[in-house]
Amino acid sequence: MNMATAAHRDTHAVTIPRHRQPAVQETSIRIDGLVAQSRPLAQWWVELVEELDELRARLVQEGNESWLSLYDQISQDAPHLTPKLRMIDDSQERLERELFEVRMLAGEAAGDSAAIRDVSARVAGLLSEIRRHEERINQALYDAYERDLGGESA
């Protein structure tokens, strides 16, 4: 993960990520490409399901590793943001469930040319939600380390 260092006013240094994990972003881009070229071919369905599986693994990994440590760090450094952090945490759990549901839908609909439009719409909506989730995380980081503490990103 790309990391940047921000300094508190009291010179205590903390490490904060600048962007989401590259694997989540790369997988999302590949899925966007698949959705844009929706085709009633067996290979399209296979690739979509594989990419959704990869995205789910990366999102869960991010939630279990990066987000938990960020949650603890921000809670200590900017406790007034705790309600926002809880909302982000709830959002992470919803996204993981939604991703599982979309993945199951894609697997069940595989090969059904009539389902391509519906599956593609659900996938596109999910990707939009993941992007909004990442924006909320970035905003919390900004609020905690740039706005509140006057830190500088390296």
Note whether residue 8 is domain-resident: no
Query: How large is the average pLDDT for residues 47-73?
Result: 87
Q: Is residue 101 part of a domain?
A: yes
Residue 29 lies in a domain: yes
Domain membership of residue 9 (yes or no) is no
Does 14 map to a domain?
A: no
**pLDDT higher at 64 or 32:** 32
Alpha helices in the chain (DSSP H): 22-36, 42-62, 68-77, 82-109, 116-141
Instruction: Decide if 153 contacts 19 (C-beta within 8 A).
Output: no
Per-residue model confidence (pLDDT) at position 8: 34
Q: Is residue 6 part of a domain?
A: no
Q: What is the mean pLDDT of residues 28-32?
A: 92
In a domain, 133, yes or no: yes
- Residue 150's region, left for phi above 0, alpha for psi from -120 to 50, else beta, is left
Q: Domains in the chain: how many in total?
A: 1
Q: How confident is the model at residue 9 (pLDDT cuts 50, 70, 90)?
A: very low
Looking at the DSSP assignment, which residues form a beta bridge with residue 13? Answer: 7
Q: Is 15 helix (H, G, I), strand (E, B) or coil?
A: strand
Reported as a pLDDT band with limits 50, 70 and 90, residue 3 is: very low
What share of the chain in percent tops pLDDT 90? Answer: 44
Structure tokens at 40: 């009633």
Mean pLDDT of 11-40: 70
Residue 48, in any domain of the structure: yes
| Predicted confidence (pLDDT) per residue in 74-127, tens digit | 888 889 999 999 999 899 899 999 999 999 999 999 988 899 999 999 999 999
Map tokens 């972003």 to a residue.
Answer: 25
Residue 21 banded pLDDT, cuts 50, 70, 90: low
Can you give the residue range of the structural domain that contains 90? 20-147
